[in-house]
Structure 1
């Protein structure tokens, strides 16, 4: 029987036992021409290349100040040079994430850091670091900058405040404002399109500068969104939009002054048991991808790509989540910060590991079925971008019975301990809707130059409904373009 298209490539949509689709450490990419081999492919994501190590970490926050990077690692603020070396500027107590922003001063820049209770100011012109001591400064849980004003939310989150114009060190106790649409507490704020988005527990308001010397800010167009925000660190900006984790467990982006749900049922079920208030959002963009990630310390890390509107996961070897919790575009590269150390990495397309640890890509397919009838699966062929594994590439395959394995084509495959190791793909399947999977079968992706290498699996028996899982753990490019399946009824 002729082979038919194997619908293996897609994003995350796991709603057991209805669907088990999962995409980990791969990026769904659509074909933008009718001449492509398949309509979608899964692109190998950028790995983590160590750029610098600053203090003992974690990386709590950072800001790009017109080409100069300021980083809070462990309990200190550092100025980072282009080669990754860092100069300590002062102490920022605490262990949690900080909020940072900057504004132009007479002789340089004012860099402000708030740690949830108090604020600190570094003046790049005067080269001074100090705690903000003005009696009218209430402390800060978050800080941003708009129209010459530093704007923040005070620690108990009852109101937001602004500095005097052009000076992060001085404040007026009358320049304090409360959200008007509902009596809920504020969660966080973001300056977006020269407006202030105030995220409350149950509602969101948009404020802007009035130009009035007395009432300097006011609500824009009586805007009140009837959805709240679940996490102070769960808001991000990318793709000319603002994204947040809602108080109802859905994830949203703005649609003008409204909200648009972008999460699906699978995402919402996956995060339903997590502590939403601990979620951290950050963004990254490259090669057309504009991705917002939400990472849950007690769960997983989910990414939404604005280009494809598909979801995927990032996962670090040995963890449920990704080891990254923030990002910064600086000096022509994307930097990301570690959750447990002072390591700063570049997201690098030519790196196929995470600082030397395996970057394992995994795809769990949709269901192959025929209205309850039995299907006989004679074979599966996967279309990979083959021929990228060098002869000295190390392999990371967990095996319980020695190093030697045999591929589907009958070749011996050495997965560790030799200079002749090859790139490998693992395949297993489930006939009970994703609850249990078979033993792993292996095939290789070809050494350098084997661009026509075929990745095939044979004789898979009968099923009423089947889900396939594909994993690649080899540190080389391993784009998955699709595949075919031979079945008879």
Structure 2
């Protein structure tokens, strides 16, 4: 029986008939040596609700010691490891995403926030937030911390450093990103490098210990820029320090040393190109089950890059075409993300089978199996799932007697038949998953699609068809 070819990365194509298969809420990872398949397809990490802020628009988060600070709406909240939530007094200005940084001042660090309305500071001891201003600073658009210094950037291309583990800035302690007159979007710290990101260039700086002025000297300039202020991630504490960003040429690139290597394909590049407001591109990261993930959301879509395997998958919330989560932060040996609209915070956990209270629908769509212009009669199609994965003590029937729904298209994905339901087996039950007499394919061949919404462990190893070829 010839095998059905399944993708290891999502490739929906510009038109349905050119699809290379899709992974939606599904990942492909290498199976153990000696397994019955080289690849096993699983479900992505689910979400476990942990706490909620009273404001509904989360804008950013930062872990300071053992306390997580979350900016939501115009408020700041402190969260403990037992998920106790305290609203700080005072408000944060601006709207949209924020950037946050802390220093190593002892005994209590300083925390600064850059936002569209200026800057704010968190007084940890006083459990409050207030406007931060410094007469030596212009209007700033981002902040980071590196080697003891806060670094802030301005749209006109200037970058300022603070005093060592201090919040004071001096007008002479600055530099100009002048390799290209493109201004600055962001400053980030990656390893020992300070990276100043403009719209057409990246400038790398190293701490030279200059006794006066800016402590950092420029070392390398890369002639590729950042497309949008929040379209970069991978430098966050707790992550694998793999900086990935959306470049000004509408590609996604991964910094390997000083080389911004493209990692996106034509499908994603076209989605990025179609975004009319680049500020809607939001990137963030998380880790689960040994995989490091870089997430990019645009209007109506979310794609996720698995740094561990080098492949992409799509992520969708139930009833939506995108993932309704934004921003990732590591805290207390876990990763958290935030609902786009409700103010809810979730733990990302590979053992979770739901998106909070909603189903987490696993979808795997095959490559096109065709012999153009010939056709084929499919006498039988078999699908190799780990069966018997029901849970006797679970919720009936979604956990006790789970199912997979299988449908197919014979016109390249333009139209689909009604799905057929096959049982995945109650606990310990070994079942074959077959479809007999699956009909005659079209000239464009056959595409199979499988979906599972029941909250159970998924392990899929492949499929095959018993076919009889026919002339065109």
TM-score range, shorter-chain basis? over 0.9
Aligned to 1:195: 193
Structure 2 residue 467 is the aligned partner of structure 1 residue 466: no
Equivalent residue of 1:119, what SS?
Answer: strand
Aligned to 2:223: 226
The question of whether the paired residues in 1 share the 8 Å contact of 2:143 and 2:153 is answered with yes
- Separation in 1 of the partners of 2:386 and 2:268? 29
Shift of 1:157: 4.5
Structure 2 residue 450 is the aligned partner of structure 1 residue 481: no
TM-score using structure 1 length = 0.89
- Separation in 2 of the partners of 1:8 and 1:258? 32
C-alpha deviations, 1:166-221, integer Å up to 9, x for none? 212x1111222221211112121211012111111111111122211224244533
Shift of 1:239: 3.2
- Separation in 2 of the partners of 1:189 and 1:458? 59
Equivalent residue of 1:270, what SS?
Answer: helix
- Separation in 1 of the partners of 2:100 and 2:39? 39
- Separation in 1 of the partners of 2:103 and 2:399? 56
Equivalent residue of 1:14, what SS?
Answer: coil
- In the alignment of these two chains, the number of paired residues is 459
Q: Any residues of structure 2 matched to 1:294-333 within 5 Å, and which?
A: 294-296=296-298, 298-333=299-334
Shift of 1:441: 1.4
- Separation in 2 of the partners of 1:365 and 1:458? 18
Note the residue ranges of structure 2 that are not aligned, 5 or more in a row. none
- Separation in 1 of the partners of 2:176 and 2:9? 41
C-alpha deviations, 1:370-397, integer Å up to 9, x for none? 24222111121111122223367668xx
Aligned to 2:27: 27
Among 418, 435, 453, which residue is 2:431 paired with? 453
Aligned to 1:132: 132
What is the RMSD of the two structures over their aligned residues, measured on CA atoms? Answer: 2.0
- Separation in 2 of the partners of 1:214 and 1:241? 32
The question of whether the paired residues in 2 share the 8 Å contact of 1:9 and 1:481 is answered with no
- Separation in 2 of the partners of 1:460 and 1:345? 42
The question of whether the paired residues in 2 share the 8 Å contact of 1:20 and 1:366 is answered with yes
Q: Any residues of structure 2 matched to 1:365-384 within 5 Å, and which?
A: 365-384=366-385
The question of whether the paired residues in 2 share the 8 Å contact of 1:109 and 1:123 is answered with no
- Separation in 1 of the partners of 2:50 and 2:398? 28
Aligned to 1:427: 406
C-alpha deviations, 1:238-277, integer Å up to 9, x for none? 4332100011111000121111001112222333322433
Shift of 1:234: 0.8
The question of whether the paired residues in 2 share the 8 Å contact of 1:382 and 1:456 is answered with yes
Q: Any residues of structure 2 matched to 1:1-80 within 5 Å, and which?
A: 3-15=1-13, 16=15, 17-33=17-33, 35-80=34-79
C-alpha deviations, 1:362-418, integer Å up to 9, x for none? 1111110124222111121111122223367668xxxxxxxxxxxxxxxxxxxxxx7
Note the residue ranges of structure 1 that are not aligned, 5 or more in a row. 396-417
The question of whether the paired residues in 2 share the 8 Å contact of 1:210 and 1:216 is answered with no
Aligned to 1:180: 178
The question of whether the paired residues in 2 share the 8 Å contact of 1:388 and 1:446 is answered with yes
- Separation in 2 of the partners of 1:269 and 1:130? 42
Shift of 1:326: 0.7
Aligned to 1:288: 290
The question of whether the paired residues in 2 share the 8 Å contact of 1:186 and 1:199 is answered with yes
The question of whether the paired residues in 2 share the 8 Å contact of 1:108 and 1:123 is answered with no
The question of whether the paired residues in 2 share the 8 Å contact of 1:52 and 1:345 is answered with yes
